[in-house]
Amino acid sequence: MGNSAWFESWDSLYKIAVSALVGYLILIVYVRLAGKRSTSKMNNFDWMVTVAVGSVFASMAILKDVTVADGALAMALLLGFQYLLTTATSHWEWARGLFLATPSILYANEQFDDAEMRKQRVCRGEIISAIRERGIGSLREVAVVTLEPDAEMSVVIKGKDGELDTVDSLPGYEELAGVGESRETR
Interval 95-123: pLDDT, tens? 998 998 889 999 998 899 999 999 999 99
Task: Give CATH superfamily name and number for 104-177.
Answer: bsu07140 like domains (3.30.240.20)
- What distances in angstroms separate CA 175 from CA 1, 42, 68, 165, one per listed residue? 65, 27, 55, 15
Instruction: Give yes or no for a contact between 99 and 61, defined as CB atoms under 8 angstroms apart.
Output: no
- Residue 118, pLDDT score: 96
* Distance (Å, whole) CA 183 – CA 179: 10
Rounded to two decimals, what is the model's pTM?
Answer: 0.73
Q: In whole angstroms, give the CA distance from residue 78 to residue 83.
A: 9
| Predicted confidence (pLDDT) at residue 183 exceeds the cutoff of 50 | no
* Ranges of each domain in the chain: 3-98, 104-177
pLDDT at position 186: 36
Q: With a cut of 70, say whether residue 181 has pLDDT above it.
A: no
- What is the model's pLDDT at position 36? 85
Nearest to 160 by CA among 172, 143, 182: 143
More confident call, 179 vs 122: 122
